[in-house]
Structure 1
Amino acid sequence: MSRSGLFSVLLFILDVIYNDVIASSSCNDVESKSTMMQLKRHLLCEYDSEVRPVQNNNNMTRVTFRMIPHFLRYNNEEEFIELHAWIAMRWHDSHLTWNPEQYDNIQSIPVSGSQIWFPDILIHNERIGESLLGYSQAKCWVRKEGTVQSLMPAKYITYCFADNTWWPYNTMNCTIQIGSWSHSGDEIELVPLQNMSLQLNSKDVEWDLLKMYVTKWEGRYKYNLGSTAKMLSYHFILRRHWGIIRIAYISPTIVLMVITLTALWLEPKSFERMMIANLSFICHLLCLHDVHWEVPKSGSNVPKLIIFYESSFAIASFTLILTSILRHLQELTTEPPTWISVGTTSILRSRIGQILLVSILDPAVTAKIEIDADDNTDLVQSSNKKSPWRYVIVLVGWFAFLSVLLTYIILLSTCFPTYYTVIP
């Protein structure tokens, strides 16, 4: 090697040594004017933020975690929850300890989260790339014994599990799983604080927050099969607000039921009955079309309100068809078959038949029923001068009305949702 080359190498070595000496001397410069700056340089001079702050690598870092919800919103179209919260954490850093007597009795110092080791506590069931955690915005306070406290804002976005049994008064369990992203459960232990408050500064106008609670979850660690991952699951139980929903989806069911029963109550030959039966059929179609677009497409269980609408639509269709058939029978002049006449006569002569039909039977027929109770004469054919099918139509109308009324009572008791049906 030539002299010039050897000289260049020597200059490079001397420059490196000089920079290291200057940097080390300035890092722990005791001549600084500020005691706080001296303490920070003393603590952070050779501090490595990538190394977990324990003396023994087998020791576990205990991180106390607290979530303070601030704003909660549910997106109906994409069916996810957006939570804005404050995240408070506390842990012990064995590398950040000092004697206050040597530093003007300083008990604590503020540091940035990017300057020290910070637990990477993240959401594990998020919408990829949408949840934010402000590590760079985290403000930490370090005490003399090495206790570190941090406070930072966070936004979590995740999907919810909906129970649509009593929709629209349905509930949702929105769960946010929190845990370390790169450390196993043997390295970091999360300890939750249970005092979560329901008092949010902002609430969704459509959903009510019923309660919040936290549970622990443990599973296999994603990077090492020999370790376990320990996470916290924060559960937010939401229930749809009752005000607008009651007017939009619950009240029409009562109106449709009344319209259908009114159609069955009227005389089959009346124009009003046919008009109301058609109106009921059309209103059922419109309501089913509207509910189809509003009912959630995901979640477990079919909403019982859909079963109610479907059954009520079938009843409205039956009412319309029955009305058309009875109006056609009203125009017939031929005598009904013998088995129909005999059955109708038996019902008319029974006590129940007299109670139900007393308002439509004329006095002559009523007297004949009482006198000829044991006679097998065909009452329907002998007494009806207007239409031989008149009493058959009346009996069918009564049976239809009572059957539909009973069906609606069963539907109301089993499928009709109320605000108090859902118990959180």
Structure 2
Amino acid sequence: MNRSGLFSVLLFIFDVVYNNVTASSSCNDVGSKSTMLRLKRHLLCEYDSEVRPVQNNNNMTRVTFRMVPHFLHFNNEEELFELHTWIAMAWHDSHLTWDPEQYDNIKWIPVSGYQIWVPDILIHNERIGESSLGHSQAKGWVEKQGMVQWLTAAKYTTYCFADNTWWPYNTMNCTIQVGSWSHSGDEIELISLQNASFEIESKDVEWDLLKMYVTKWEGRYKYNFGSTAKMLSYHFILRRHWGIIRIAYISPTIVLMVMTLTALWLEPKSFERMVIVNLNFICHLLCIQDIHWEVPKSGFNVPKLIIFYESSFAIASFALILTSILRHLQDLTTEPPTWISIGTTTILRSRIGQILLLSILDPAVTAKIEIDADDNTDLVQSNNKKSPWRYVIVLVGWFAFLSVLLAYIVLLSTCFPTYYTVIP
């Protein structure tokens, strides 16, 4: 090797050694600075925030995780659950230990998120682009043994798993699933420190938080098929607040039911009955149309309130058609067929029929029945000055009213939602 080549090699070696010595001295030469600054320079001088802080790469980092909910909100239009919360984490960093006696008995120091390694615990079932976590702006505390305490604010947004059986008093399981984004379960273990009881400072005005619980989930690791991913699932069980629902959805069902029964109670020939049955039919259509836009598009089970409205709409249609038929029968002057006359007479001569007649006929006929019920053999053909179909109409009207009343009782007992039908 000639002299020029040898000189170039020596110059390169000198440059490398000089740069290392200069960097080392500039990083640690803080003898004239404060004790806190010397300690932070000592700990963070050659610290790499991208490397998991363990002496052996096979060692597991155990991270204690606690979620402190502050505010929750459910967007009905987009069906999104939004949670604002505080996140508290703690883990051991073997690279951040010191002897307090060498640094004026300093036992802990504050650090920023960009200075040290922070476990990338993120939500895995988010609405993409909606969640946020401020690790880089957050502050932490490091104790002398290397224990790191971390507190930051987070916003999580996800979809909910809704049970619409008793809608609008439906319940929703809104799950926030958190875990490490780039480390497998063999590298990071999440340990939940969630308390059994907690209070949320600010609640949603439309939804009540019934309870919150935590479960563990394990699955195949997305980056390495030979490893597993371990996560924590925070379940928030929500139920719609009763005050708003009672006015918007429950009260109209009672009004429509009363309108239908009232229409069937009135005389078929009356103008009021015709007005009520038509108005009742229109109101049912409007309520069904309104519910169509309000029922959640996701979730499982058909709401029983939809079945109630559907059945009530069928009953309202029946009441409208029956009213039209009975009004037409009252205008007929021909005698009813023999089989109708015999059937009607048999029913009206029975004990139940006499009770019905006592409440619907004029006093003269009622008095005659009370004296001798056996003389009512030609009851249907009597009093022809009014209508030969009058008693048939009365009997059909009573059967219709009682049948509809029974149908509504069954619907109320099986399909009518209340705040207490949903068991947390």
TM-score, normalised via structure 2 length: 0.94
Q: Post-superposition shift, 1:292?
A: 1.1
Residue 67 of structure 1 corresponds to: 67
Q: How many residues align?
A: 423
How far off is 1:155 after superposition? 0.9
Task: Please report how far the alpha carbon of residue 368 of structure 1 lies from its aligned counterpart in structure 2 after TM superposition.
Answer: 6.2
1:17 aligns with 2:17: yes
Contact 1:278–1:320 (CA under 8 A) maintained in structure 2 = yes
The Cα offsets for residues 4-40 of structure 1, whole Å up to 9 and x where unpaired, read as 8876775555333322211012222252421112111
Whether 2:31 is the aligned partner of 1:36: answer no
3-state SS in 1 of match to 2:381: helix
Structure 1 residue aligned with 2:374: 373
2:314 equivalent in structure 1: 314
Alpha-carbon contact 2:67-2:194 (below 8 Å) kept: no
The code of the aligned residue for 1:312 comes to S
Aligned residue for 1:189?
Answer: 189
2:405 aligned with 1:405: yes
Shift of 1:381: 2.1
- Does 2:114 align with 1:114? yes
Tell me, in whole angstroms, the C-alpha distance in 2 between the residues paired with 1:370 and 1:163: 61
Residue 68 of structure 1 contacts residue 196 of structure 1 at CA under 8 Å; is this kept in 2?
Answer: no
Q: Which residue of 2 aligns with 1:165?
A: 165
Name the CA distance, whole Å, in 2 between partners of 1:251 and 1:199. 32
Q: Which amino acid is the alignment partner of residue 244 of structure 2?
A: I
Tell me by how many angstroms 1:202 deviates.
Answer: 2.0
Distance 1:180 1:104 in 2: 37
Alignment partners' CA distance in 1, 2:196 and 2:260 = 50
TM-fit CA distance, 1:266: 0.4
* 1:347 counterpart = 2:339: no
Cα 1:5–1:353 change in 2 (3 A) is same
* Matches of 1:390 and 1:378, distance apart in 2: 13
Alignment-mate amino acid for residue 374 of structure 2 = A
Query: Sequence identity, in percent?
Result: 84
Matched, 1:212 2:212: yes
Q: Would you say the 8 A contact 1:349–1:369 is kept in 2?
A: no
Q: Deviations over 1:168-214 (max 9, x none)?
A: 11111100001011111111111111216542232211111121111
Q: CA deviation at 1:384?
A: 3.5
1:54 counterpart = 2:78? no
Gaps of 5+ in 2: none
One-letter amino acid matched to 2:61? T
Q: What code does the residue aligned with 1:367 have? A: K
Aligned residues: CA RMSD: 2.1
Bigger shift: 188-197 or 8-17? 8-17
**What is the distance in 2 between the residues matched to 1:199 and 1:186?**
34
Q: CA deviation at 1:367?
A: 3.3
Kindly provide the CA deviation profile for residues 288-332 of structure 1, in whole angstroms up to 9, marking residues without a partner as x. Answer: 111111111111111111111111111111000000000000000
Q: Which amino acid aligns with 1:373?
A: D
Q: 1:246 matched to which residue of 2?
A: 246
TM-score w.r.t. length of structure 1? 0.94
Bigger CA drift: 400-409 or 2-11?
2-11
CA distance in 1, matches of 2:30, 2:98: 15
Deviations 1:59-91 (A, max 9, x none): 211100011111111111110111111111000
- The 2-side partners of 1:148 and 1:359 are apart by 85
Which segment is superposed worse, 356-365 or 249-258?
A: 356-365
Contact (CA 8 Å) 1:198, 1:211: kept in 2 or not? no
Task: State the one-letter code of the partner of 2:333.
Answer: T
Alpha-carbon distance change, 88 to 307 in structure 1, aligned in 2, over 3 angstroms: same
SS at match of 1:281: helix
- Give a deviation string over 1:333-354, Cα, whole Å, max 9, x none: 1111111111000001100100
Task: Give matches, 1:287-306, under 5 Å.
Answer: 287-306=287-306
Deviation string 1:256-315 (CA, Å, 9 cap, x unpaired) is: 111111100001111111111111111111111111111111111111111111111111
SS of the residue corresponding to residue 359 of structure 1 reads helix
Distance (whole Å) between structure 2 residues aligned to residue 150 and residue 360 of structure 1: 81
Partner of 1:396: 396
Cα distance in 1 for partners of 2:237, 2:373 equals: 69
CA distance in 2, matches of 1:44, 1:89: 21
Contact 2:357/2:366 (8 A) holds in 1: no
SS in structure 2 at match of 1:268: coil
CA offset digits 1:221-255 (Å, max 9, x no partner): 11222221111000111111122221111111111
Q: Please say if residues 281 and 320 of structure 1, whose CA atoms lie closer than 8 Å, have aligned partners that are also in contact.
A: yes
Tell me the distance in 1 between the aligned counterparts of 2:2 and 2:128. Answer: 59
| Structure 2 Cα separation of the partners of residues 383 and 390 of structure 1 | 9
Q: How far apart in 2 are the matches of 1:65 and 1:368?
A: 84
Corresponding position: 1:94 with 2:97: no
SS state of the match for residue 380, structure 1? coil
Question: Matched residue of 1:50: which SS?
Answer: coil
Task: Write the distance in 2 (CA, Å) between the matches of 1:168 and 1:260.
Answer: 23
Alpha-carbon distance change, 341 to 145 in structure 1, aligned in 2, over 3 angstroms: same
Q: Which one-letter code corresponds to 2:368 in the other structure?
A: A
Equivalences for 1:324-363 in 2 at 5 Å? 324-362=324-362, 363=364
Query: SS in structure 1 opposite 2:399?
Result: helix
Q: State the match for 1:261 in structure 2.
A: 261
Q: Is the 8 A contact 1:221 1:229 kept in 2?
A: yes
1:198–1:209 contact (8 Å) kept in structure 2: no
Paired residue type of 2:73: R
